[in-house]
Amino acid sequence: MPPPARPTRDDVAELAGVSTATVSRAYNNPESVAEHKRSVIFAVAKKLGYVPDEMASALRRGKTGIIALLEKSRIETASDRFLSTLYADVIRGLKSVIDQSKYRLSLITVKSIDDIKVLKSGKFCDAVIAHDLQDNEMLKAIRALKIPAVCAFREDNTILPQVRLDEEYGGKLAAECFLASGRTKPAHITGQLTTIKSCYHRHKGFVEAYGSPAIKTVDGELGINGGYESTLKLLSDIKNGHIDSIFVVNDITAVGVLQALQANGISVPRDVSIIAHDNLPILDTLPVRLTSIDISFRKIYSTAAKQIIGNMENGLAMETIVKPEIVKGDSV
């Protein structure tokens, strides 16, 4: 026995006593249809189990119905590989919003500006969410597409509307956590303070929350080896009781910090407390689960999806700042 036929727009129109064009307008341009007619159409559609084909509707309007997550193809560094473990949070954040809308998500990787230009000529998408894109020329090429676009997870973008993490607030959270635990002699291990804005702002938030610019700061190399070497410069002060807590700029660098402390017989958190930043899954593999500031990928990208849909439907273009949260472990 064949399955029952799927209800069509014509079925809804006939039962609601309106034209098929009116049914289409009720879904695609509801303000153009009187409220009482819309109510009848939607009630009939629900009764019949009719679901409009949004993709086909988009194509009829000359649209694709697609929001593209656009990222640049690149050779991964060690830090990139660790951050890539959070890529699933990016997708989940986007899908949690886009799957509830009339749009669909597409993942597009580009190698050059020419690849971006093709997006317009080929009508691959109606809007773009740029994922952690550091190339200003590529951002300008996206803007030149003249379609709704938002840049996510980049602090110094001035080219596109953006959604970014409040880096200073992360430093403030670390300071407040130390102070609440009675740690009053902090140090900060960071790297490239003058060239990486996220490092600068995490440091700024941490120092301002303590109210003391004299906090011992080591501006060394980022990464595991950098964290190890930076910690060696603090050993004397830690052993003499002049430092009782360390805020580390990111989790990868904090792994080296922890290794150096353990190699020199310093216990965490008995002798010194540690707070890191990013809350990467790698923390679950360490001997001490570090307290860390969550990088909030899922929140950033769900916010980006809401912002881009608002831009497409209401012409909104703005900057949205997402506040991180602290995830407590055993290191404070």
- What CATH number is given to the structural domain containing 279? 3.40.50.2300
Tell me, yes or no, whether 171 and 286 share the same domain: yes
Per the structure, the complete domain to which residue 44 belongs is given by: 9-52
Tell me, yes or no, whether 177 and 255 share the same domain: yes
Tell me, yes or no, whether 144 and 184 share the same domain: no
CATH (domain of 37) = 1.10.260
C-alpha to C-alpha distance for 108 and 253, rounded to whole angstroms:
31
C-alpha to C-alpha distance for 80 and 115, rounded to whole angstroms:
23
Tell me, yes or no, whether 108 and 158 share the same domain: yes
Distances (CA, A) of 330 to 150, 189, 193, 239: 37, 19, 28, 21
- Residue 60's H or E segment, with its range, is helix 54-60
C-alpha to C-alpha distance for 331 and 272, rounded to whole angstroms:
8
Residue 332: inside a domain: no
Tell me, yes or no, whether 265 and 315 share the same domain: no
Q: What are the backbone angles phi and psi of residue 259, rounded to the nearest 5°?
A: -60, -45
Model pLDDT, residue 78: 60
Residue 156: inside a domain: yes
Q: Give per-10-residue mean pLDDT for the chain (332 aa).
A: 68 90 76 83 86 52 80 69 78 92 89 85 82 86 90 82 93 97 96 92 95 88 96 96 96 96 96 96 92 93 91 76 95 96
Tell me, yes or no, whether 76 and 31 share the same domain: no
Model pLDDT, residue 204: 95
Residue (of 227, 284, 245) closest to 79 by Cα position: 227
Give residue for tokens 């500006």.
113
Tell me, yes or no, whether 18 and 160 share the same domain: no
Tell me, yes or no, whether 78 and 99 share the same domain: yes
Q: What are the backbone angles phi and psi of residue 122, rounded to the nearest 5°?
A: -95, -5
Residue 46: inside a domain: yes
Residue 213: inside a domain: yes
Residue (of 272, 76, 281, 93) closest to 184 by Cα position: 272
Residue 174: inside a domain: yes
C-alpha to C-alpha distance for 263 and 213, rounded to whole angstroms:
30
Residue (of 132, 179, 178) closest to 152 by Cα position: 132
- Asked whether 216 and 234 are in contact (CB, 8 A), the reply is yes
How many independent structural domains does the chain possess? 3
Tell me, yes or no, whether 186 and 278 share the same domain: yes
Tell me, yes or no, whether 118 and 211 share the same domain: no
- Using H for helix, E for strand and C for coil, what is the string for 285-304? HCCCCCEEEECCHHHHHHHH
Residue (of 324, 264, 298, 331) closest to 94 by Cα position: 298
